């Protein structure tokens, strides 16, 4: 079976070329062709000698996963359904804004953590995505956006992340916030992020790559050492009793240990704060007492809060907090000196809003044995 070179970061490519008797600098050349130019055909890589191109064609491939569908919402949000094989599919979402474009990437087919407000977790887990399937989502999106903008994959300062004819970057930020728990697929996710950060790959800064986790404490410490990007923590509750119910991983890694890991992470983080994500559930975690508990909880953790209006899904058992409740909650946090934003719902007309990403998973857990529609948060 041919080796898929999309699975390899720079260091791994150097080893690959050494194994076939080639110099280390070939890794940089190939990275640029794959990720800055979006090229998958070795014969078109003009600065590689013809014998090397033939050698690569005989032993390796550059293969991204296949796109099943591609939809664009009225607000410009774009969603790709990506086939990852064996009746599994994940979704990738591009969110355009005035000063940036954010790509939301999945890391697993399904999720095993079973967060109660998240349909992905409620409906099972199949497997971790490979590095090629993770970075392939960025590869697909950058090529598509560059093509639609009338340009080629960006070069130079724009680093091939999908460019307009003027060379302006289309994808400026990547968030590991799609389907799955990224830290439960640690090695493949970190390899993919190395490619995002590599100047010969996508050239993103660590501040512009964000990993969102439900709170796997040992893996947060590993991430700090291996690839410290911006960190977002799915908090969703101000005390252990409520978080145990909403985010079951809290039973293994309670809040005290999680917040201690956040403080340790800041020693090497590219930003001087942790983002805490907090989905707003009517009558569950949106009261004034919850806001005050949050203030007390994070008193010694530099942070900002991102309040997320809950996007209902069938049989969720939850309702979205009212606008007034979210506003009052935010005002309490703001009055205590915390930085607070409220996430705007985007792409809901194509089911691309937070909590609405629809894919397909063949569940391998005990919760269900059927193929189900999944909705990621």
Beta-carbon contacts of residue 210 (< 8 Å; ≥ 6 apart): 173, 174, 175, 176, 177, 229, 230, 231, 232, 275
Measured distance CA(62)–CA(43) in Å, rounded: 12
3-class secondary-structure state, position 160: coil
Measured distance CA(147)–CA(59) in Å, rounded: 29
Measured distance CA(160)–CA(272) in Å, rounded: 28
Residue that is written with structure tokens 């857990």 in the block: 365
Count of CB atoms within 10 A of residue 322's CB?
13
Instruction: Compute φ and ψ for 97, nearest 5 degrees.
Output: -135, 175
Measured distance CA(99)–CA(28) in Å, rounded: 30
Is residue 336 within 8 A of residue 298, CB to CB? The reply is no
Is residue 222 within 8 A of residue 243, CB to CB? The reply is no
Residue that is written with structure tokens 């005989």 in the block: 58
Is residue 90 within 8 A of residue 84, CB to CB? The reply is yes
Tokens (6 digits) for 213: 């986790």
Chain centroid offset of residue 83 CA: 17
Measured distance CA(68)–CA(123) in Å, rounded: 21
Terminal-to-terminal C-alpha distance of the chain: 35
Residue that is written with structure tokens 């404490």 in the block: 217
- Residues serving a catalytic function are 91, 354
Measured distance CA(243)–CA(267) in Å, rounded: 26
């Amino acid at each position: 079976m041919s080796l898929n070179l999309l699975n390899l970061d720079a260091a791994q490519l150097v080893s690959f070329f050494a194994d076939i008797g080639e110099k280390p600098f070939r890794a940089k050349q190939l990275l640029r062709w794959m990720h800055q130019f979006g090229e998958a055909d070795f014969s078109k890589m003009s600065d590689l000698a013809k014998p090397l191109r033939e050698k690569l064609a005989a032993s390796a491939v550059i293969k991204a996963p296949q796109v099943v569908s591609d939809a664009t919402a009225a607000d410009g949000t774009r969603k790709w359904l990506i086939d990852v094989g064996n009746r599994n599919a994940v979704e990738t979402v591009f969110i355009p804004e005035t000063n940036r474009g954010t790509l939301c990437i999945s890391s697993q087919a399904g999720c095993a953590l079973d967060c109660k407000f998240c349909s992905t977790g409620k409906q099972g887990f199949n497997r971790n995505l490979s590095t090629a399937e993770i970075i392939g989502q960025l590869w697909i999106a950058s090529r598509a956006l560059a093509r639609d903008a009338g340009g080629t994959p960006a070069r130079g300062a724009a680093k091939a992340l999908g460019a307009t004819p003027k060379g302006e970057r289309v994808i400026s930020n990547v968030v590991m916030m799609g389907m799955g728990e990224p830290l439960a697929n640690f090695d493949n996710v970190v390899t993919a992020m190395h490619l995002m950060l590599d100047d010969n790959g996508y050239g993103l800064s660590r501040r512009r790559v964000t990993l969102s986790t439900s709170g796997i404490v040992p893996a947060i410490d590993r991430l700090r050492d291996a690839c410290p990007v911006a960190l977002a923590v799915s908090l969703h509750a101000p005390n252990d009793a409520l978080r145990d119910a909403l985010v079951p991983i809290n039973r293994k890694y309670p809040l005290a240990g999680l917040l201690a890991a956040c403080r340790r992470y800041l020693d090497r983080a590219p930003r001087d704060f942790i983002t805490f994500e907090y989905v707003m559930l009517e009558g569950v975690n949106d009261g004034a007492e919850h806001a005050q508990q949050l203030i007390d909880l994070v008193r010694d953790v530099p942070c900002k809060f991102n309040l997320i209006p809950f996007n209902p899904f069938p049989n969720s058992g939850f309702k979205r907090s009212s606008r007034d409740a979210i506003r009052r909650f935010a005002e309490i946090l703001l009055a205590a000196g915390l930085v607070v934003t409220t996430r705007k719902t985007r792409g809901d007309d194509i089911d691309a809003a937070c909590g609405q990403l629809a894919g397909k998973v063949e569940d391998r857990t005990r919760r269900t044995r059927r193929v189900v529609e999944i909705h990621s948060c």
